[in-house]
Structure 1
Amino acid sequence: MNTSIQGAIRHDWTREEIEAIFHQPLLDLIFQAATIHRQFHTPGEVQVCTLLSIKTGGCPEDCAYCSQSVHHHTAVKPQPLMHKEEVIAAARKAKENGSTRFCMGAAWREVRNNRDFDRVLDMIHEIREMGLEVCCTLGMLTEEQAKRLQQAGLYAYNHNLDTSASYYGEIIHTRTYDDRLRTLENVRKAGVSVCCGGIIGMGESDADRIELLQTLANMPEHPESVPINALVAIEGTPLENQPPVEIWDMVRMIATARILMPQSMVRLSAGRLQYSPAEQALCFLAGANSIFSGEKLLTTPNPGVDADRALFELLGLKPRPAFKDQLSPAGELA
């Protein structure tokens, strides 16, 4: 563990090493993560992102946590792909409210080379011109499709592994773990930043959480963004009766991710609404430096802009600039 404190970037973590980090006393874990966080990131700087569902519901996948699956009977009503003007207006509002990354999610199993994909490419181009980092989560991608997204100006692509390979079959049956890994490879080959994390609170064990973190940390390149989601149990889904995720589980997951992947942005993602300002502060202390802001995360509730503004003021946090890793010392895009 001392090599971590000194800031080594590794891709060869053993299960035993991660277990030792993950299971250490919580205050020691937070201290270690906070120390590493300050070596690699500006203290008190948090990236503010906005996520918009541009095509909602009707998804053929059977992910047990998701309100948008056709396999589940939830309150979500399917909606077609939004008009470009609506999406651009939402991106503009997000930027005015302090977001530097705008994420668009479409409830597709995979991207198809059709008119809808062309419309998304057009949206990406216009939003990139606004000076926002553009992220998409559209399902599975071929290498050629990932390249088209990159050429349109896409900055990042989100494709979560959700859980460990061992537990995956308990949650999803309509696509394989290898399918997910293949999409991530295609994104990486296209030169697009990778956003990939998981969800806790789906009935998995600590061993599954450790296995997920090992998979992420031992990728040839760490994901630039690692969202840690707490399950939001939605009525009508197979996981509707899962208990809320304790803040201690969230902090332990965030801190371990920070230690294993020092340079990555670790995002406090879904489920944040259930945590108090003090509990969220613990997550930031443990290494989280990215959040989603805005009343909704696709279809689930999220803290509003005013609440986040008050939280930032209370904790002395400041928003991370867009494209920070590409800025010159003068603050211009290199």
Structure 2
Amino acid sequence: MAVGGEPGDQGPPHESGGPGHGDLHGRCKAAGGAGIPGSVPPVRHLSATRPPPGPAPPRSSTLRGVLDALTHAENALLGERRPLTRAEVDAVAALSLDHLPDLIALAHRVRLAYCGPEVELESLINAKSGACPEDCAFCSQSARYATEVDVYPFLDLDEVLEAARATRAAGATQFCIVVAVRGPEERLLNRVIDAVKVVQDETGLEVACSLGLLRPEQAQRLAEAGVKRYNHNLEACREVFPRICTTHSYDDRVATARLAIDAGMELCCGGILGMGETLAQRIDFAFELAALEPCEVPINLLDPRPGTPLEDQTVLSPREALQAIALFRLVLPGAWLRLAGGRERVLGELQAMGLLAGANALIVGNYLTTTGRSPEEDHALLDALGMPVADGPGEGRFLVDADGAHARPAQPPRRPTIPVTST
């Protein structure tokens, strides 16, 4: 279902209270990556004049209404230091996009208070590409669709190590090994674990993995091998998920996310925005993620792939994407929110606004099947914003406690930066 109109016109948000956030600072303190530049295809944005069917949610049209909703959210998050309820988030989401700058400013203050100004960098390697048996509607690596994606088995160790060294050279701290499978069979898992050990020994990078659905013993083996963080995205909220995948269930994904935590790994769990969901469903998604208490939440913005069922899906407008990023920050105040695939196409020249709207992590370089931009461009962007690069998981230059983020004076900055404050 294509999304039409401005986000505020996309159906009534729910009124129930949301889940708690557990530890307000998330399950980890820091992490990192790199890649290769390339071109970005032209953008088709959502029409601002084509509302979807169904009733529109109530809007706070007066200045007093705007100030009330935003002030209430700010008092809860920064004054009372408590998570927002669903009704409180809905009140903010109902504001007209004319007030998007006010929402972005609040999300940035929340990010600084809970996480500090650092930005975590990570890169990916598509270590086994294509021929996936699953039918995820957004994915060009599915064997069910006629796409032009490269198909190859798990890379040799020297190729994985070369990519890891490039990641380290680009100033990133985390390297994620990704394979296109439903879940790893024994031989593949053994090869991944071998690669994890080589990368750790040769580069010192923190290694994350994304290998699909896991069994308990597989999660335990990865944790024992030193995998720091496991990525397994929910992709969409429970209500939307059956429209984008039928070969496994939403609950299958939730189960693997919980297995990763139970095994002692940090959880990286997010998804893709712009697959036809409503604004209310985006908020559903944020609260469902918060219930898992992930350390990291990747925010992908759909860049439709030729040959997939979503190839004709109209992409989000930049304003819709920024609104979603800011709302995710309000729901997940202490998580790493990582701008990932699609940011170049959807946000374009407004990528800096994504970092001011609450995001505090980036995937740098190329993605799994699409081209990103150079790490140098992202470093220049961070320097221009005065946002320092995180030194590594648990080793950042800022400590976060109940009173907010505080500089760690004993650890000098990697490069000169303009201080970022919450005022």
Note whether the superposition's TM-score is higher than 0.5. Answer: yes
Q: Which residue of 2 aligns with 1:128?
A: 200
Q: 1:291 aligns with which of 328, 352, 362?
A: 362
Cα separation, partners in 2 of 1:74 and 1:131, compared to 1, 3 Å: same
In 1: Cα distance, 2:80 partner to 2:254 partner: 27
Unaligned runs of 5+ in 2: 1-72, 400-407, 412-423
Cα separation, partners in 2 of 1:70 and 1:248, compared to 1, 3 Å: same
Residue 158 of structure 1 contacts residue 196 of structure 1 at CA under 8 Å; is this kept in 2?
Answer: yes
Q: 1:22 aligns with which of 64, 69, 93?
A: 93
Instruction: Write the deviation string for residues 51-101 of structure 1: whole angstroms up to 9, x where unpaired.
Output: 110000000000000000011110013100001111011101110011111
Give the aligned residue type for 2:114: F
Residue 197 of structure 1 contacts residue 227 of structure 1 at CA under 8 Å; is this kept in 2?
Answer: yes
Residue 196 of structure 1 contacts residue 223 of structure 1 at CA under 8 Å; is this kept in 2?
Answer: yes
What aligned pairs does 1:157-176 form with structure 2 within 5 A after superposition? 157-176=230-249
Indicate the SS of the match to 2:77: helix
Task: Give the 4+ runs in structure 1 shifted more than 3 A.
Answer: 275-278, 325-331
Residue 46 of structure 1 contacts residue 319 of structure 1 at CA under 8 Å; is this kept in 2?
Answer: yes
Q: Which residue of 1 aligns with 2:173?
A: 100
What aligned pairs does 1:138-157 form with structure 2 within 5 A after superposition? 138-157=211-230
- Larger CA deviation: 253-262 vs 307-316: 307-316
Instruction: Write the deviation string for residues 128-160 of structure 1: whole angstroms up to 9, x where unpaired.
Output: 232212111110011211111111110111111
RMSD (Å) for aligned C-alpha atoms:
2.0
The alignment status of 1:252 with 2:323, answered yes or no, reads yes
The alignment status of 1:3 with 2:76, answered yes or no, reads yes
Q: 1:197 aligns with which of 270, 285, 299?
A: 270
In 2: Cα distance, 1:276 partner to 1:205 partner: 19
- Structure number, greater radius of gyration: 2
Indicate the SS of the match to 1:318: coil
In 2: Cα distance, 1:21 partner to 1:8 partner: 18
Unaligned runs of 5+ in 1: none
The alignment status of 1:311 with 2:385, answered yes or no, reads no
Indicate the SS of the match to 2:131: coil
Cα separation, partners in 2 of 1:276 and 1:196, compared to 1, 3 Å: closer
Instruction: Write the deviation string for residues 176-225 of structure 1: whole angstroms up to 9, x where unpaired.
Output: 00000000110010110001112111111112111101111233xx2110
Q: 2:105 aligns with which of 18, 31, 38?
A: 31
What aligned pairs does 1:177-326 form with structure 2 within 5 A after superposition? 177-219=250-292, 222-274=293-345, 278-294=349-365, 296-324=366-394
Residue 7 of structure 1 contacts residue 262 of structure 1 at CA under 8 Å; is this kept in 2?
Answer: no
Cα separation, partners in 2 of 1:185 and 1:51, compared to 1, 3 Å: same
Residue 76 of structure 2 contacts residue 82 of structure 2 at CA under 8 Å; is this kept in 1?
Answer: no
- Larger CA deviation: 275-284 vs 139-148: 275-284
In 2: Cα distance, 1:7 partner to 1:148 partner: 41
Indicate the SS of the match to 1:297: coil
Q: Which residue of 2 aligns with 1:84?
A: 157
Task: State the 1:232 CA deviation.
Answer: 1.0
In 2: Cα distance, 1:215 partner to 1:87 partner: 34
In 1: Cα distance, 2:395 partner to 2:328 partner: 20
- Larger CA deviation: 298-307 vs 261-270: 298-307
Indicate the SS of the match to 2:235: coil
Indicate the SS of the match to 2:212: coil
TM-score computed with the length of structure 2 as normaliser: 0.73
TM-score computed with the length of structure 1 as normaliser: 0.92
Task: State the 1:269 CA deviation.
Answer: 0.9
- Larger CA deviation: 77-86 vs 60-69: 77-86
Task: State the 1:312 CA deviation.
Answer: 2.5
Give the aligned residue type for 2:222: L
Q: 2:126 aligns with which of 20, 42, 53?
A: 53
In 2: Cα distance, 1:233 partner to 1:89 partner: 30
Residue 18 of structure 1 contacts residue 214 of structure 1 at CA under 8 Å; is this kept in 2?
Answer: no
Indicate the SS of the match to 2:119: strand
Residue 301 of structure 2 contacts residue 346 of structure 2 at CA under 8 Å; is this kept in 1?
Answer: no
The alignment status of 1:40 with 2:111, answered yes or no, reads no
Q: What percent of counterpart residues are identical?
A: 38
